Amino acid sequence: MNDKGSIAGRVVDAAGRPVSGVTITISSSTQPTSDLATLTNADGRFRLSGLAPGPYGLSAHRRGQPVGEAEAEVRPGQPAEVEIRLHE
């Protein structure tokens, strides 16, 4: 049985259009998360895999500035789905 999970999602602008090239980082009060970051693709999508179950905070950064956030609950064997709407 797979005891790891993942977070999958997308980043959109205020009009709901996908945004590429946004850096997504995660943090957790219960799990080590250093070096866990990814970029959104051309469709604004991202995925972080191999995560231990538990709550995570996600931060979106563009050109070094924070532009959005979300929370996700990772469960074993199933992706947590999130959408981050930019607030720039």
pTM higher than 0.75 = yes
On the 0-12 / 13-18 / 19+ scale of CB atoms within 10 A, 39 is exposed
3 state SS of 37: strand
pLDDT averaged over the chain? 91
Alpha-carbon distance of 43 to 83, in angstroms, equals 12
CATH number of the 5-76 domain: 2.60.40.1120
pLDDT in tens, 32-48: 766 789 999 999 999 99
